[in-house]
Every structure is written in structure tokens, then in C-alpha cells.
Amino acid sequence: MNLLICSGGANPVPNYVVCRYLLDKFREDVEKMPIPDLILFLQTEKTQDYYKNLKKILIEEDREKKNLGVTCEDFKYCNISSERDFSEIRKNLNEKLNEIQDSLKKDKKTLTHIHFNITGGTKPMVVCGYQEISSFCKLSKNQPPIKFAYSDLNPKNHTINYICEDDSANLFYPEEDNLLDKVKIKMGDLFKLHNLHYEDCGSKNENLYDINFKRVFENKVNSKNNSFRYLGLAQYGMDIKEIDKLREISKDNRIKHKNHRNKKLFVRLKNTNLLEEVYEKEGEESLGIFRENLEQLLSLFKKIASDFTFDFENVKVKEFVDLMKFLDGDWLEQFLWKILLEFKDEINIDDVKWSVEPDIEETLENNRKYCELDLIVLRGYQITTFSCTTDYNKHILKNKGFEVFFRSRQLGGHAAKSVLVITSNDQNLKTELLEDLKSFEGTEYFTVIHYEDLCDKAVLKEKLKEILEAPDFKKLDGE
């Protein structure tokens, strides 16, 4: 019997990848890395839900593809109260190993091979786990002796770095190709691993507008102004302060009805007449100014949005809120999303989602958001997360850069990539953002897309291809 032991950390994605690949009965390196008959997760009380979810996902995948052959009985758990308690880790792991061995003996089976994957666990879990498993194998009276091997998931070349304890050289599997082409996870399952709920409702299809983006980017802009705010409509002659006022009104209405998961409030938000709402809240004089500004904005919007229709007298609050949110920045997300979809097959990606807002499972009733992701791209099991902004404030841009890097690593592990998309054409600003963030460990997987990349579709396509296929961004950013 072959036993796989996974050191379970706060990110379950690496353990999913290792388990998913090793369980595949049709892989070419089965004789070199045996298929596990049992999987043991070394986990803490804080992370036990992650590994229960991992088990469920693997079993569901097996039901669909019939290539894993796993059952609930194939998964075991070794719980520890602290991931840094040396003595507890060794004690609990020893007890679990003996328990497994005794159970196998009752069924007249024996352990022949233990594979310890160290990816994901803390240093104490790795060190103590190695010591205890090595000692257990050497002290065991099994004949033939238990073979012990250990491995690590390499985030750069996407292979399993594998070595048997008695060997002097480590090997990389798969020997040809990489795991990104072998292990593919669904977007919903990626969030489920983290105990998050993600409901795929499309990608804001109701907010799509047929925008002439070539016209939006056709004129280079001064990097110190806000020419790309509100899709650059201010350059056609409307005072941007008047658009700001419209945006504030849309925010007020959105906050008033923010609990969009409450069906009654959602229906009210969707069906309430906008002009009646403004009149009731602001009065007749303000309504006149509002009408004038909105009419001017809509006439300008039609210059870059083909087939745009807006029933002014009967417009609903939700239509107005969605339009203003789109103009305030969602347009940049849509632009990138449409480009990625257009070149999806060419740039070898499995899925791309726009505006992803996963919930924390335990707080679904309270409508608590875990995070908001502008764009997320999935290739195999590797995610690339995009944060898009039309802001020019250096401090805001830095904060957005840190946030997208943190969220991406949090969800996808060390192999995750993150991209900040800005509309500035200030090369010095781009350089400063890269230098600031690259002072942190792991930020070789962070880069910036800016105006020069966005304004030429061919250039942008090539940039996205490089981002999604490069092992890291060192060469991409000229290091």
C-alpha cells in the first residue's frame, strides 16, 4: 500500500495539485511515483475545512472523469492544535502512522511506500514530519522495508521535485511538459478549496456596452490629468465635476439598496424610476440640473458606444447605477476581459472571469464579501489576477498593487501572478510602482500594464501572452 502525506498549510491549492496529479491512473510516471492508496493530511484545526473540501472536490472529479479511483475511506487526517509545536507534530504523526499500519495489518496489507509532500506546511511541520516519517520507516519491521520519498511543488517550472531518501539525485515530474497542462481546476472549485462560495452568474453581461475602444485610446493624454476617468468623456467638452455629481448620486442610490441579495430590495432597485427617485430625494430644482447633466452625458456616451439606447423618461435606478459604475472604471475591466476572451485559445488559458466577488461560506446570510477581483484568469491551476484602475494618484495605485498581489498569492499560492492595469502613460510612474512592489519576496510574479500597452491591440495581445506564459516577470520587466 502506498501512502501520500501532505503537509497542509493555509493555502490548499498546492496540495490539490499534488494529489490530483498523483491520483491520475493514466499518467506516464506511475512506476516512478506510485499512485497513493491512502492520503493523509497533516493539518491544524484552522485549516481542516480546506482539506475536507479538497477531498470532496477530488471525489466529485472522479465521479465525472473516472480516472482517480478515490473514496472517502482513502483520506485520513492528522490534526494538530499548533503548526509550530514540535513535540505535538511528532507525537500525533507517529500515532497516526501506527494507527494506519495496524489497520492495514488487520486487512492483511502492508505499507510499502510513503511519499511526503512538503509544499504548503510550516517549517516545523516539514522538519518534524520528515524526521518522524524517516524514523518510522527505518524502525518498521515491514518486509520489504518501507520506501520513503519526499517532494515539493516547484512554482517556477510547475513540476514535482521528487527524491527517494536513499537517492542522491532528485527528479522532476512530469519529465516532459508541465503540471499546468495536466492539472486543471474549475474556477468554482478554486474558491471552494478556500471555503469560499462563488456563484458564476456570467460576467456582468447585463452591463456590457459595445464600446469603440480604439477611439477611446486614439489620443495620447497628459499623465497628470484624469482624461480616462469616465471613459475620457470629459475631453468632449463636459465638465468632469458635473460627471462627479452624477456619480455621487448613483453611489447614494447604490448604498441605499446595497443589500442586493435581498430579493425585495433588489426588485425595488431594479424597477424604481430614476427621475421619480431623484425628485423625491432632491426636489424639483435639483431634478432639472440632474436631467440636464445626464442628458449631456448620454449624448457624449453615444459617440463611443454604438447601438446605445436609454429610455430617459422611464430609466430605472439600477440602469443608471450600472452605467455610472461602468463609466467610473468598469469599462477598463470590460476592455481587458473582451481582449482576453478574444485571444483565449491563442494565449492558452482555460477560463477568464470579470468582476468576481466570492463570499465567505459561513457568512452567506450576512452577505459578507471576502474580496472583489476585477479580472481573474485560470490556466491549469495557476491564477493571474488583474486590478484595473483609471486613477492617477500614486499612493492609490501602490495600494491597489499591494492588494492585487496579496489577494492573488492568498488564493493561488506562490505560483499565482498579479497585474496592475493603469491608464497612465507616465513611464516613471510605472517604474516606481514596479520598484516599490518588487522589494517584497515573491513579487517577480507582479507586473504593470499601462497606457502604451493598452492603446495598441496587437501590443496588448503580445503583452498578455507574455504575462500568462512566462514563468515569472523578470525578463518581462527588463531585469
- Tell me the pLDDT tens digit for each residue of 435-471: 887 777 667 889 999 888 998 888 999 999 999 988 7
Q: What angle do CA 267, 273, 278 make, to 5 degrees?
A: 120
Convert the pLDDT of each residue in 346-382 to its tens digit.
878 999 998 888 887 654 444 455 688 999 999 999 9
Contacts of 165 (CB under 8 A, 6+ apart): 134, 137, 147, 148, 149, 150
| Segment (H or E) for 92 | helix 86-106
* pLDDT at 359 (0 to 100): 80
In the chain, where the domains are located: 2-183, 205-469
375, β-bridge pairs? 354, 386
Q: State how far Cα 133 lies from the chain centre.
A: 34
* pLDDT at 254 (0 to 100): 46
* pLDDT at 303 (0 to 100): 81
Convert the pLDDT of each residue in 98-154 to its tens digit.
999 999 999 999 999 999 999 988 999 999 999 999 999 999 988 889 999 999 999
Is the Cα torsion angle 237, 242, 248, 251 positive or negative in sign? negative
User: Is residue 404 over pLDDT 90?
Assistant: yes
d(CA 321, CA 206): 12
Number of C-beta neighbours around residue 426 at 10 A: 16
Give the distance between the most distant pair of CA atoms in the chain: 92
Is domain 205-469 given the CATH code 3.40.50.300 in the classification? no
CATH classification code of 2-183: 3.40.50.10770
d(CA 85, CA 78): 14
Contacts of 304 (CB under 8 A, 6+ apart): 211, 212, 215, 216, 231, 233
d(CA 344, CA 351): 8
pTM, rounded to two decimals: 0.88
**Range with the largest mean pLDDT of 296-305, 306-315, 416-425, 469-478:** 416-425
Convert the pLDDT of each residue in 275-305 to its tens digit.
887 777 777 888 888 888 888 888 888 888 8
Q: Are 71 and 33 in contact (CB under 8 A)?
A: no
